[in-house]
Every structure is written in C-alpha cells, then in structure tokens.
C-alpha cells in the first residue's frame, strides 16, 4: 500500500516537472512573439521609430464654392472675395493664416498710359474740362515698360488706381507684390497672344502685405489699343488681359503649386454672366469674351511653365531654406515621401528606412516634418 502511494507521488512530481518545462517553453514563445510585435510597431529593432507631423499643405482639402458669377474649388477655410463687373472682374482666394498663399485672377484692366507726357496731357484736359469725366485717364498709371514684367512691377500703383476710380472695386483688397523680382520667364498660351505686345508666364519673388517674402507664377497679356498722336504724344493706352497669380510664402511654392493649380483650373464663369459681358472698347471682342477659355489657357500656361522651369533655383533655394531653418531633408525608402527632419536627425537615427535626399529630390514637395522624440 505504502509503495503504491509513493509511486503515485513520484508520478505527480515527474508530471509537474514535465508540465513546468512545457509552461516555460510556452511562456518563452509568447515572449518572442511579443518582442516581434513590439519591434514591428516601433520599427525594426526600434531604429525606425520617428515622430512625423504632416505639413499644412497635406492637411488641405478642397471644397466647392459658387456664386451667380462663377464657381471653383477652394481650400477649405480659405477666404474668397470678388468684385468688378463685366470683363473687369476680379477674384482672390487667400489663406487667412498667410495671405501670400493665394489665387488671384482679373480678366482685364485698362487703361494704362504709354508715357508721362501722355499723362500730363490728360491731366491738362481734366483741369480744363472740370468735373470727373477725364479722371479715368488723368489718374491712370503709366506703363513705360509694356511687358508682363513691367506690369507686375507697377502692380501696386495699378490696383490703387482701380480702387479709386471703379466703384465696384473700391473695397476689393488686391494682392501686394512689392519688390517684384523675376526669376525666369516662359511663353504663355493666352488666347490674345497673337495680338499682344507681350504675354509671358513669370516665376518671381515678392514681398507681400504682411512684409513677408513670397514666390509664385504670374501671367499677364499686354495689348496695345492703338495709336493716337496729338502734338507728337501718343494719347492711346494699353490693355492688360489674363491677369493671374498663384503664390505662396517663400520656399513653399513647391508644396503649394499643385493645390493652387487645381483651384485655377476649376474656375468657371456661368453662362449667364458670360452672355451679358460686353467689352465694346476692344476690337478683339469675341476673343476677349471667351472668358472660360482664357482661364483654361492661363492654367495650361502655368502647367507648361512649371514643368519646364529651371530646377537649379529650386535646389539652391530649398537647400538654403533648410540651412536657415535648421532642417535636414530625408526620404522614406518605402513610400518615396520626402520630409524635413530636425538638424541632427541622421546622426540620431539608426534605422534603414529614412535616408538623405539626392539633389533632384529638392525639386519635389515635402509631406511633413520629422520632429525629435521627446523634444
């Protein structure tokens, strides 16, 4: 009896030892699985763990906007203003956080005088006639350089003039393009290009109303209304068509250009507005009334200019911006996305997923920022 009891006790001990061994194997296996799962979540051995913050542009979504005059897509939360009448109509869409991020369109502006002598003559007529009937000419801006670049260099004077002489534009807040500096130019595809003195797409920098630098693409078509010589002075004027600009804060246009171009490409004037729009002062009336075609031509011009731009400026400008702001630029080898990382990231980082960009990658948009963990 006693022997049987001892035998059972020995079996229990043996079984317990065997079960304990199995338990250790099971627990060990679970531990390995947990380590693998945690490793995947944090990155390979924790070396790929990074803190990514999306860029402002990546957070932008487009929404529909429409009035009785036009419809378009705009970035959600941005401000829209419009003014003018007929073909002298203006639209401006701005980012309330930074007005240098914007879309601007005006179909036509006139008159711009050809010389200071012509302006003096018009001022003399206004003084003799009295009243305000000659103000549209006597107060007009002189465009001594009748080119796209010349027009944008006096843009501030032109818009102040429009605010003062056209009641439907009196409260319209035009963009500010101070210190306008051309970086490069390309031919436009504007509908009136064949009769224009100049019609270019310019890539340029400027200083905005917030005293901050901006950059973007600009288009304007300069047309000579004709010649009318009086006492050796040409008293006629220039007309400006297709005035458009898409801009952003400096060094960010690479990121914003795609969303801004989508906005421009979506602008469409209503049939009823186009039908009632008459421009009797222009011999090219039928062409000028093809308003939606004008907008499409502006978009096509922008696309062509951007695709064929000199990328040397982008590389140099983006490198300088990173150095000034304290960023390194890296890309995700899995997705191809490009990020601005904090200075020193490549020294801290021990993984294989994020690598330093090559020069050509400075011409592409960034998806966000890599911030220092715990910083």
Q: Which residues contact 237 (CB under 8 A, 6 or more apart)?
A: 110, 111, 112, 113, 114, 137, 140, 225
Is 43 a residue whose pLDDT tops 50?
Answer: no
Is 123 buried (19+), middle (13-18) or exposed (0-12) by CB count in 10 A?
A: middle
Mean pLDDT score, 220-225: 94
Tokens 């203006």 belong to 90
Angle between helix 291-307 and 253-266 (nearest 10): 160
Residue ranges of domains in the chain: 2-42, 51-55+318-371, 78-309
Order of strands across the sheet with 268-269? 62-66, 70-75, 268-269
Q: How confident is the model at residue 86 (pLDDT cuts 50, 70, 90)?
A: confident
Check: CB of residue 90 under 8 Å from CB of residue 84.
yes
Mean pLDDT score, 340-352: 89
Is 91 a residue whose pLDDT tops 90?
Answer: yes
Inter-CA distances, 242 with 23, 274, 296, Å: 79, 15, 10
pLDDT for the residue numbered 364: 87
pLDDT by residue (tens digit) across 354-369?
A: 999 998 888 888 989 9
pLDDT for the residue numbered 288: 47
Mean pLDDT score, 86-115: 95
Q: 103, 152, 79, 110: which is closest to 266 by C-alpha? A: 103
Q: Say what percent of the chain tops pLDDT 90.
A: 49
pLDDT by residue (tens digit) across 294-314?
A: 666 666 776 677 777 777 888
pLDDT for the residue numbered 133: 78
What's the whole-model pTM score?
Answer: 0.79
DSSP state of 288: H
């Amino acid at each position: 009896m006693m022997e049987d009891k001892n035998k059972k006790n020995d079996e229990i001990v043996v079984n317990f030892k065997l079960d304990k061994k199995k338990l250790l194997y099971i627990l060990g296996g679970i531990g390995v699985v947990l380590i693998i799962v945690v490793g995947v979540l944090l990155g390979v051995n924790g070396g790929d763990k990074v803190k990514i913050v999306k860029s402002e542009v990546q957070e932008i979504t487009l929404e529909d906007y429409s009035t009785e005059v036009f419809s378009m897509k705009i970035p959600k939360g941005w401000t829209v203003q419009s003014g003018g009448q007929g073909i002298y109509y203006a639209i401006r869409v701005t980012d309330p956080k930074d007005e240098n991020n914007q879309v601007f369109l005006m179909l036509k502006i006139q008159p711009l005088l050809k010389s200071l002598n012509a302006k003096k003559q018009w001022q003399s007529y206004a003084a003799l006639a009295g009243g305000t009937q000659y103000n549209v000419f006597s107060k007009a801006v002189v465009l001594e350089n009748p080119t796209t670049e010349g027009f944008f260099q006096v843009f501030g004077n032109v818009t102040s003039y429009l605010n003062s002489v056209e009641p439907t534009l009196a409260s319209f807040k035009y963009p500010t393009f101070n210190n306008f500096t051309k970086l490069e130019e390309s031919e436009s595809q504007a509908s009136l290009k064949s009769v224009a003195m100049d019609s270019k797409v310019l890539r340029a920098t400027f200083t905005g109303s917030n005293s901050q630098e901006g950059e973007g693409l600009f288009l304007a078509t300069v047309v000579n209304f004709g010649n009318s010589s009086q006492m050796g002075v040409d008293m006629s004027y220039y007309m400006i068509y297709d005035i458009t600009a898409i801009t952003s804060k400096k060094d960010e246009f690479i990121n914003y250009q795609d969303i801004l171009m989508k906005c421009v490409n979506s602008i469409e004037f209503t049939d009823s507005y186009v039908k009632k729009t008459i421009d009797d002062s222009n011999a090219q009336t039928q062409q000028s009334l093809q308003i939606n075609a004008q907008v499409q031509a502006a978009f096509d011009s922008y696309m062509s200019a951007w695709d064929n731009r000199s990328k040397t400026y982008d590389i140099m400008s983006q490198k300088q911006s990173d150095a000034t702001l304290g960023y390194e630029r890296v890309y995700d080898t899995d997705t191809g996305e490009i990020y601005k990382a904090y200075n020193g990231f490549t020294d801290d980082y021990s993984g294989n997923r994020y690598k330093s960009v090559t020069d050509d990658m400075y011409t592409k948009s960034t998806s966000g920022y890599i911030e220092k963990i715990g910083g």
